[in-house]
Structure 1
Amino acid sequence: MKFRTFFVCTAALFCGAFLAGCSKPPSLPVLQQIEYSNLADADTQNLLSDLLQNAGVSDLRIQTFFEHVQKFNSAVDPAWLTTGFETAKPLDLKYDPYSMQDVWAEKYGTFPGWNCRITACGLFGDFITVTGEADFDAAEDTLFMDYETLDTDPEALCGDKRQKFDALFAPVKTTNTTDIPTHLKTIQQEWKRRGLSFVADDKIRLISVVLHDQFSETDNSLMIGHVGVMLPTSDAVYFVEKVAFQEPYRLLKFKNRTELSDYLMLKYDNSWGQDTAHTFIMDNANLMDGWRILEEPTDSNG
C-alpha cells in the first residue's frame, strides 16, 4: 500500500530534468532556479497583500493568512527564512525540516499548524462554490491531520463550512490506468457531482497538484497532494503556498506558467518506476496551461 498522498505536503520529491510531451514548445528550458520569499519582511508581505486585494480576496481572508504567517515565522529561527526575495535551486532548502518541526512542537505542542490545503482554501474560498449535499466517502484516512487543525482552529477557513473543504480535497475514486486524460475527466466529473465549481477570475487561480495512488488493481484514487494560489500579473506569475504543516510559507515569482509547472513537477512527480500515472496540475477545474511532464533522470554510470 502506498501512502504518498498524506506525506506529499511534507516533503519534496525529486523527479528529473527535461520535457517529454508537454503543452509548451521544447525550446523552453527546464527550470533551474527559483525566486522566492518566506514573507518574513514588510516589502514582500505588502506585495502579496496588494496582489490578493487586487484579485478580490476579502480582508478577513488576507488578515487570517498573515496572522498564520506571523505565528509560523516567529516560531522558527530567522536564519532559516529568506530576507526579501532570494534565489535557489528548485529543491534546495535553507533549513532542516526535522529541526523546524522540533522547534514548532516546542512552541505549539501537538497542534500541527496549517498546511497547503488549509492555507489555499482559506485564501481562495470565495472563489469556490458548493451546491447541494452530495454524498461522498469521508477522507479521515488521508486528511486526518487537516481535520485536527480544523477542529482546533475552525476559523482557518474564514467562515466556510467543512463541506467546501471536503468537496475539494476528499480523494476521488479512479480506474487503474496511467492515462492522464482519463483521470482528469474522472476528477472533473466527480467535482461536478459534488456540486463543486469555481468562480472564473484571471487574477487568481487555484493550482492543484493531483496524485494517483494505487492501493491495488481495483483500488485507485486521485488526491490533491499539494495546492497553492496563483496570482498572474502582466509581467510575472506569482504563486503562494504553505510548503507543509511545519514548513514555511512561500511566495514564488515565475516568468510563466511552465516554470511554475516545472517547480511543482520536480517536487511532486514521483511516478517513475511505478504503475501510477504521472502527477498532473490543475488550474481551477482544468489542466493547467503550461503543464508538462519532465523526463526521468538517467543513470550516468550506465
Structure 2
Amino acid sequence: MTDAASRGLLSESLADSGISENRVSILLDRVDQFNASVKNEWLTEGFESGAPTDTKYDPYEMQELWTEKNGSFLGYNCRITAFSLFGEFITAGADQPETQGEDALFLDIETLTADPAVLCGDSTSKFCALFAPVTAADSTETAEQVKALQAGWAERGVAFEEGAARLISVVLHDRFSDTDNTLFIGHVGVLLPAGDGSLYFVEKVAFQEPYRLVKLRNRIELNDYLMERYDTSWDQDTARPFIMENDSLMEGYRTVPTAAN
C-alpha cells in the first residue's frame, strides 16, 4: 500500500463494498503513519508474489524503528484495523461492559484509549464483545468449537450484517487447564470481492508490522494462506485453528499438511 495505484484500488474496493468514506480515510491515514515510520525498502510497491511467510523485513528491526519514531504508542494490530473498517456491519448487546477479555486484549485497549478515533464512532464495548475470548467446547473437533464460538457471540448479542465485505477471523483454541479453555481471534482481516471474480484480503500483520492488501483467486487460496501462517501447533489437546467468515465456518476451510504433522 505504498503506491498510488494500490491505494486507489483499495479505496475503490472498500467503497464498492459499502464501507464508508470516513472509515477508508482513517485506514489510509494510519497506513501513511506506519509507512512513514519504517524503511521504504521493507515495503512492496504494487502486488508482489511470494509465500505466505515471506517478508522483506526483519520484524524486530521494524519494531525498533517504529518505537524510535512513535515512542510508547503501540500502533494498530489486525483486530483494530479490521474493526475500524468493518464495525458498522456488526452489532452487540446494549448490556455489554465497557471492556472484557482484558487479559487477552490489554494491548488493543491501550491503543483504543490513546486513539479512540480509530473506532470510527463505534465503542470499545462492541470491540471487546466481538474479540474477547469465549468459552471453548471440551473437544478437539472444529464443528464443536464453531458452535461454541457462535454461542459465545450470541450471549453477547454479537451479530453480523450480510454484505459484500466479510470479516475473516482465524480462531485459536487455547487450553491451559480444565477451567481455562477458550477460543480467541488470533488474526482477522476484511475480505472484499474483486471485479474479475477474485478476492482482496485487507489485513494488518501485527502491531509493528505492515498493512497488506493480498489478492487471491478464491477462498481455498485464502484458507491456505492463513493456515500456513497460523496453524503452527499440533498433537495437542486442542482443536486446530479454524477460519470464520462473519459468524460461520468459511467455505473452503481445510487444514493444510505441514512437514511437522
TM-score range, shorter chain: over 0.9
Task: Indicate the residue corresponding to 2:55 in structure 1.
Answer: 93
Aligned 8 A contact 1:135 1:194 in 2? no
Superposition map of 1:187-198 within 5 A = 187-198=149-160
Q: 1:120 aligns with which of 79, 82, 90?
A: 82
Q: How many residues align?
A: 260
1:92-147 CA distance string (max 9 Å, x none) = 11000000000000000110000000000000011111133146982111111101
Q: 2:118 aligns with which of 110, 134, 156?
A: 156
Q: What displacement does 1:192 show?
A: 1.1
Q: What displacement does 1:83 show?
A: 1.3
Task: Indicate the residue corresponding to 2:103 in structure 1.
Answer: 141
Q: Over the residues paired in the alignment, what is the CA RMSD in angstroms?
A: 1.5
1:263-301 CA distance string (max 9 Å, x none) = 1000001231322110000000000011111124259xx
Q: Unmatched 5+ residue regions in structure 2?
A: none
State how far apart, in whole Å, the 2-side matches of 1:218 and 1:192 are: 21
State how far apart, in whole Å, the 2-side matches of 1:69 and 1:130 are: 28
Q: 1:206 aligns with which of 138, 156, 167?
A: 167
Q: Are residues 1:53 and 2:4 paired?
A: no
Task: Indicate the residue corresponding to 2:179 in structure 1.
Answer: 218
Q: 2:202 aligns with which of 212, 226, 240?
A: 240
Q: Which runs of 4+ in 1 moved over 3 A?
A: 134-137
Q: What displacement does 1:179 show?
A: 1.0
Aligned 8 A contact 1:208 1:224 in 2? yes
Secondary structure of residue in 2 paired with 1:71: helix
State how far apart, in whole Å, the 2-side matches of 1:163 and 1:249 are: 25
State how far apart, in whole Å, the 2-side matches of 1:106 and 1:136 are: 32
State how far apart, in whole Å, the 2-side matches of 1:174 and 1:136 are: 23
1:229-277 CA distance string (max 9 Å, x none) = 0002342111000000000000000000000000100000123132211
State the TM-score, normalizing by the size of structure 2.
0.96
Q: Are residues 1:262 and 2:224 paired?
A: yes
Aligned 8 A contact 1:176 1:214 in 2? no
Secondary structure of residue in 2 paired with 1:144: helix
Larger relative contact order, structure 1 or 2 (CA cutoff 8 Å, min sep 6): 1
Secondary structure of residue in 2 paired with 1:266: helix
Distance 1:187 1:80, change over 3 A: same
Task: Indicate the residue corresponding to 2:39 in structure 1.
Answer: 77
Give the AA of the match of 1:56: G
Aligned 8 A contact 1:211 1:224 in 2? yes
State the TM-score, normalizing by the size of structure 1.
0.83
State how far apart, in whole Å, the 2-side matches of 1:298 and 1:77 are: 34
Superposition map of 1:1-16 within 5 A = none
Aligned 8 A contact 1:130 1:195 in 2? yes
1:156-196 CA distance string (max 9 Å, x none) = 11110111101100000113320111110011011111111
Aligned 8 A contact 2:2 2:43 in 1? yes
Taking every aligned residue pair, what percent have the same amino acid on both sides? 53
Distance 1:66 1:135, change over 3 A: closer
State how far apart, in whole Å, the 2-side matches of 1:296 and 1:64 are: 38
